[in-house]
């Protein structure tokens, strides 16, 4: 049995009391190293001991996978969207969440929502609506990045709350957490780069490599990375830098340009939701945004997609050269989809759909369904910090040159980016492109 710190014990008692008092929600906050995951497990064990249904959730597949690896095997872990049977849909030109036509039954019980800093206002509205007869425990770190386009997650406004203010013993003296603390304490003020220095404790800490490219190359060509792709990641701010690093690493790994966009055996991440029904009466296959999948096979193909009659807008068929890709999801499901080979062909189809949608509004939903039926994949070697939030890796390269570009326009977001980036690593943080930064 894991021993709880006094701070964890107090928070557990407060959570139990909140449930006993009939409160619908409770908020547990804590910074990196405060033992939130340990306490979540203690909460789950307590209520499961009382024969209550307990589900631990997170907003992303990656965060859910991290949880599943850390909590007891008999605890149900899934994404909050899966629990609520939510899927992306369209309202005109905007994407929104809707409930599936055949939603799963949600048992009354305890729902723990980890990484609640990522919960948008839209998702919070669904939680309030569909989990009104459950006790919902939100768990999060207020120093992390908020949902895109929002100042903060509304989950942090829950009135009943507890806070973990003690770093657990095994995290004490950890150079990564010491750097994270300095970053967090500077949030809201001017940029403070005093934490950017070599600080190592055995195999853990911060390191400033001199020959950055050599270190990155060695990491992504290593046997350790080949055995476990979560062994390292390169984190930055902009998508342009992500594409640049991914292209560079792929050239190293495959000895030049590859004949196909991705290779069999390569792990990739979906950059947009994918949903397709292979047969009219068959089950719908789906891949969520930022879900990681394995390329099993890729070959030249053709995508024939029919757009139905829409009042006075005639039906027509888009016939596009494609890459037919077979993917293996983390759940073990094989899914086949298409990547359009020529972006200009895709632009031509999209341009026609937009023009038709201006005549008949329903065409917007057809356009949304078409884009959902296309795979949008990206290599996993580099990713933005926003995308990495909720994930854990053994080692990370943090591109402070790219992240630091945000400092003039938005110092707070820069500090949040740095905080999230360094706390993704369990072992080593390689701080790269640090020239020009000053404390």
pLDDT in the model for residue 101: 83
> Looking at residue 382, what is its pLDDT?
98
What's the pLDDT tens digit per position in 127-159? 999 999 999 999 999 999 999 889 999 999 999
The tally of CA atoms less than 13 A away on the side-chain side of residue 95 is 12
Q: Which parts of the chain have pLDDT scores under 70?
A: 1, 90-93, 169-171, 278-282, 438-439
Q: How many helices (H) and strands (E) does the chain have?
A: 14, 21
Which string of DSSP letters, residue by residue, matches 229-296?
GGGEEEEES-HHHHHHHHHHHHHHHHTS--SSSS-TT-EEEESS-EEEESSTTSPEEEE-TT-EEEEE
Instruction: For residue 231, report the phi and psi dihedrals to the nearest 5 degrees.
Output: -70, -30
Per-residue model confidence (pLDDT) at position 3: 86
> What pLDDT is recorded for position 239?
97
Per-domain residue ranges for the chain? 6-170, 173-263+381-432, 272-375
CATH of domain 173-263+381-432: 3.40.50.300
Is it true that 6-170 and 173-263+381-432 share their CATH fold? yes
Q: How confident is the model at residue 280, as a pLDDT?
A: 64
Neighbouring C-alpha atoms within 13 Å toward the C-beta of 277: 7
Q: Are 188 and 157 in contact (CB under 8 A)?
A: no
Strands of 25-30's sheet, edge to edge?
A: 76-79, 54-58, 110-113, 135-140, 25-30, 161-164
Over 14-58, what HEC string results? HHHHHHHCCCCEEEEEECCCCCHHHHHHHHHHHHHHCCCCEEEEE
- Answer whether 276's CB lies under 8 Å from 337's CB: yes
In the CATH hierarchy, which fold is given to the domain comprising 272-375?
SH3 type barrels. (2.30.30)
pLDDT at residue 439, as a whole number? 52
For residue 170, the model assigns a pLDDT of 60
How far apart are alpha carbons 226 and 422 in whole angstroms?
Answer: 23
Long-range contacts of 146-152 (CB under 8 A, 24+ apart): 146/117, 146/416, 147/117, 147/118, 147/119, 147/120, 147/121, 148/386, 150/120, 150/121, 152/117
- CATH number of the domain at 6-170, please? 3.40.50.300
């Amino acid at each position: 049995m894991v021993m709880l710190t006094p701070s964890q014990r107090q928070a557990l008692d407060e959570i139990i009391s909140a449930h006993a008092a009939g409160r619908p929600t409770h908020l547990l906050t804590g910074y990196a190293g405060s033992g939130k995951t340990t306490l979540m497990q203690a909460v789950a064990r307590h209520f499961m001991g009382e024969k209550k249904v307990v589900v631990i959730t997170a907003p992303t597949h990656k965060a859910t996978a991290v949880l599943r690896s850390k909590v007891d095997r008999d605890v149900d872990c899934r994404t909050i969207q899966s629990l609520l049977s939510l899927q992306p849909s369209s309202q005109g030109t905007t994407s929104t969440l809707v409930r599936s036509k055949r939603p799963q039954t949600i048992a009354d019980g305890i729902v723990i929502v980890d990484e609640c800093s990522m919960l948008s206002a839209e998702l919070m509205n669904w939680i309030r609506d569909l989990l009104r007869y459950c006790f919902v425990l939100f768990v999060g770190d207020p120093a992390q990045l908020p949902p895109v386009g929002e100042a903060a997650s509304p989950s942090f406004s829950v009135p009943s709350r507890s806070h973990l203010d003690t770093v657990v013993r095994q995290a004490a003296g950890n150079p990564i957490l010491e750097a994270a603390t300095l970053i967090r304490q500077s949030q809201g003020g001017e940029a403070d780069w005093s934490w950017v220095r070599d600080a190592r404790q055995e195999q853990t800490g911060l390191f400033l490599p001199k020959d950055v490219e050599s270190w990155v190359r060695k990491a992504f060509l290593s046997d350790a990375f080949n055995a476990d792709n979560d062994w390292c990641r390169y984190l930055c701010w902009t998508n342009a830098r992500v594409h640049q690093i991914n292209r560079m690493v792929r050239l190293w790994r495959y000895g030049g340009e590859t004949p196909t966009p991705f290779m069999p055996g390569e792990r990739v991440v979906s950059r947009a939701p994918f949903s397709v029904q292979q047969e009219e009466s068959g089950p719908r296959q789906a891949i969520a945004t930022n879900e990681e999948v394995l390329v099993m096979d890729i070959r030249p193909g053709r995508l024939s997609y029919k757009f139905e009659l829409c009042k006075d807008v005639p039906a027509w068929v888009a016939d596009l050269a494609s890459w037919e890709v077979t993917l293996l999801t983390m759940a073990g499901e094989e899914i086949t989809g298409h990547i359009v080979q020529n972006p200009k062909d895709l632009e031509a189809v999209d341009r026609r759909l937009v023009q038709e949608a201006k005549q008949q509004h329903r065409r917007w939903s057809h356009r949304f369904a078409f884009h959902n039926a296309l795979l949008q994949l990206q290599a996993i070697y580099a990713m933005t910090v926003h995308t990495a939030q909720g994930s854990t890796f053994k080692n990370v390269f943090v591109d402070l040159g790219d992240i630091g570009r945000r400092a003039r326009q938005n110092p707070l977001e820069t500090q949040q980016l740095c905080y999230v980036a360094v706390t993704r690593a369990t072992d080593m943080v390689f701080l790269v492109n640090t020239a020009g930064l000053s404390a």
